[in-house]
Structure 1
Amino acid sequence: MKTFEWLLPALFLAASAVAFAGPAPWYQWRSVTGATVCAQTSPGPAWVRLEQPFVDPRCQRRDPSSSNSKTRSGK
């Protein structure tokens, strides 16, 4: 029984690390037929991810922490 005394604290430590994780980003995906959807993961092999990440499931608000969302000077 002593060999499992570390198991419960280790499980609590692992669970607490997950609590600090942020939400997964949302992306716009375009199919080969031209249809677009907003999803966190690829809808399938015939879909291509577009642009930078979004913070909402409607793909309306861009993720401000994304390096691609910063404005460029055009030079």
Structure 2
Amino acid sequence: MRLALAILACLLTIWAVRTFAAPAPWYLWESRIDQYRICLQYPPGEGWVKAGGPFSDAGCRLPYGKQPSR
């Protein structure tokens, strides 16, 4: 009985993770020094401010939640 409950708990956990997982959004970051812009999913460090986002693609073109058309 315990084994069946453990297996069921594992299966429910895997289902929940796959159901609610989503890719991290991309943000446009701008340098405070020379206004250079980059697109990253995480802050590049001190001296950078968020200039836009969130975006769905690495080019920072599609608003978050929109899927690229194929």
State if a TM-score over 0.5 links the two structures.
Answer: yes
Residues 10 and 45 of structure 1: is their aligned pair in 2 closer, same or farther, counting only changes over 3 Å?
farther
Structure 2 unmatched ranges of 5 or more: none
Q: Distance in 1 between matches of 2:14 and 2:56?
A: 24
SS of corresponding position for 1:49: strand
Q: Which moved more, 1:22-31 or 1:56-65?
A: 56-65
Residues 11 and 55 of structure 1: is their aligned pair in 2 closer, same or farther, counting only changes over 3 Å?
same
Are the counterparts in 1 of residues 29 and 52 from structure 2 also a CA contact under 8 Å? no
Residues 13 and 64 of structure 1: is their aligned pair in 2 closer, same or farther, counting only changes over 3 Å?
closer
SS of corresponding position for 1:13: helix
Match of residue 62 from structure 1: 63
* 1:19, distance to aligned residue in structure 2 (A): 0.9
**Residue type matched to 1:24 in 2?**
A
Match of residue 46 from structure 1: 47
Identity %: 35
Whether 2:28 is the aligned partner of 1:28: answer yes
Residues 44 and 11 of structure 1: is their aligned pair in 2 closer, same or farther, counting only changes over 3 Å?
farther
TM-score by length of 2: 0.66
Structure 1 unmatched ranges of 5 or more: 66-75
Q: Distance in 2 between matches of 1:40 and 1:18?
A: 20
SS of corresponding position for 2:42: coil
Q: Distance in 1 between matches of 2:14 and 2:8?
A: 10
